[in-house]
Structure 1
Amino acid sequence: MKNKFGDFIIQVITVMIGVFLGFVVSNWSEAKKEQTRASALMKNISTEIQTNKASVERVIDYHRMVLDSSRYYFNQPTITNYKPEFFKGVNTISFYNSAFETGIQTGLINEISIDKIQKLNEVYTQQRSYEDFSNLLLSGLITMDFNNGEESTRKILMYLSISMMDVVIKEEQLLESYDKALELIQE
C-alpha cells in the first residue's frame, strides 16, 4: 500500500511539473509573440513618422517663401498686382497616424516603454494641432474678401503673413519632434 501511494505521489508531482513547464513555455511563447508584434509596431510607427517628416520637409520651404513674399508685398507703399503670383494655395498637410492608432487600439502600445509612448504621443498631438490650425487657416482665408482692391489685398497679405509664420513655427517644431522620436525609437 505504501509503495502504491509513493508511486501515486511521484506521478502527481511529475504531472504537476509537466503542467507547470507547459505554462512556462506557453507564457514565454506568448511573451515572445507580443514582443515581436511590439517590435513590428515600432517599425511601422517609425516608417509613419519618417513619411510625415518627409511631407513637412517638402512644404516648409514653400511656406517660408509665402511668409517672406506676403511680408514683402504688404510693406510696399502701393500694390498694383492684386493677384500675387507667389501664392499657390496654403499647401498644408494631412498626416498619417494609422500605425500609432493601431497600437493604441490593439493594446500593443503598452509593450513600449513609457518614455517612448510619451514622445510618440507628443508627436501625434502636435500633428493634430497642426491639422486643426490648418483647418482654421483655410476657413479664415475662405471668409476673406477677394475683390481687386488694394485694401482687400493688404488684408489677405497680412493674414497670410501672420498665418504662415505660425505654420512655419509648427512645422519646425514637428521636424524637431520627429527627429527626437526617431532617435528614441532606434534606441
Structure 2
Amino acid sequence: MKGELKGLLKEIISITIGILIALYINNWNEDRKDSNYITNISASIHKELSETREDIDKKIVQQRMLIDTLNFYRKDDQMSLDKVITKAKGIFIPSIRINSWKAIANSKIELMDYSTVSTLADIEEQKELLKIKSEKLLDYLFANYRKTGEEQKEFMQILMSEIISTETFLKESIDKIIKEGKSLEK
C-alpha cells in the first residue's frame, strides 16, 4: 500500500510539474505575441501620426493664407467670400489618421501605457472637434458664399482661426507621442 501511495504521489507530482511547465510556456508565448503586436501597432500609430502631423503643417500654411486673403479683401465690397476663397486657392482641412489607434482601442488597450492611451484619446476627441468646426465653417460658407460684407469675412476669419487652434492642439498631442519615440507598451 505504501508503495502504491508513493507511486501515485510521484505521478501526481510529475503531472503537476508538467502542467506548470505547459502553463509557463503558454504564458511566455502569449506575452511574446502581445509584445510583437504592440511593437507592430506602435510602428503603425507612429507612421499615421507622422503623416497626420505633416498634413497639418501643410494645411495650416494654406489656412493662414486664406485668413490673410480674407483680411486683405475685408473692406472690398466687390469681393464675395467665394471669390476670396478662390483667390486663396480653396479651403484645406487636414486628414487625421488614427485607424491603428482605433484598432488597438477596441481590442488590447490594456497592453498600452496609460499616458499614451490618454494622449491618443485626446487626439481622437480633437479629431471629432475639428470635424465639427469644419462642418460649421462649410455650413456658414454655404449660407454666405455670395456675401461681400466685412462682417462675413471677419466671421470666416474667426472660424478659420478656431480650426487652426484645434489643429495646433492636435500637433502638440501628436508631438508628445512622436518626440518621446517610446513604445506604447506598459
**TM-score (structure 1 length as normaliser):** 0.86
Q: Structure 1: 5+ residue runs without aligned partners?
A: none
Task: Specify the SS of the correspondent of 1:143.
Answer: helix
Task: Specify the SS of the correspondent of 1:128.
Answer: helix
In 2, Cα distance between equivalents of 1:124 and 1:46: 14
Q: Any idea what the Cα deviations from partners look like across 1:120-158, whole Å, max 9, x if unmatched? A: 1112211211111111111111011516xxxx3434422
Identity, % of aligned pairs?
Answer: 19
In 1, Cα distance between equivalents of 2:155 and 2:181: 38
* Contact 1:116–1:184, Cα closer than 8 Å, also in 2: no
* Contact 1:59–1:92, Cα closer than 8 Å, also in 2: yes
Deviation at 1:72, TM superposition (A): 2.6
Aligned twin of 1:98: 99
In 1, Cα distance between equivalents of 2:165 and 2:56: 12
- The letter of the residue matching 1:86 is K
* Contact 2:65–2:88, Cα closer than 8 Å, also in 1: no
Equivalent residue pairs, number: 180
In the TM superposition, what are the counterparts of 1:20-31 in structure 2 within 5 Å? 20-31=20-31
* Contact 1:116–1:181, Cα closer than 8 Å, also in 2: yes
Q: Structure 2: 5+ residue runs without aligned partners?
A: none
For residues 64 and 145 of structure 1, do their structure 2 counterparts lie closer, same or farther at Cα, with a shift above 3 Å needed? closer
Deviation at 1:185, TM superposition (A): 4.8
Deviation at 1:102, TM superposition (A): 0.6
Q: Which runs of 4+ in 1 moved over 3 A?
A: 78-82
In the TM superposition, what are the counterparts of 1:72-91 in structure 2 within 5 Å? 72-74=72-74, 76=75, 78-82=76-80, 83-84=83-84, 86-91=87-92
Aligned twin of 1:65: 65
Deviation at 1:61, TM superposition (A): 0.6
Aligned twin of 2:16: 16
In 1, Cα distance between equivalents of 2:181 and 2:27: 26
> How well do the aligned residues superpose, as a CA RMSD in angstroms?
1.9
**Pick aligned residue for 1:169 from 146, 150, 165:** 165
In 1, Cα distance between equivalents of 2:141 and 2:32: 52
Q: Any idea what the Cα deviations from partners look like across 1:77-104, whole Å, max 9, x if unmatched? A: x444453353322211232221111111
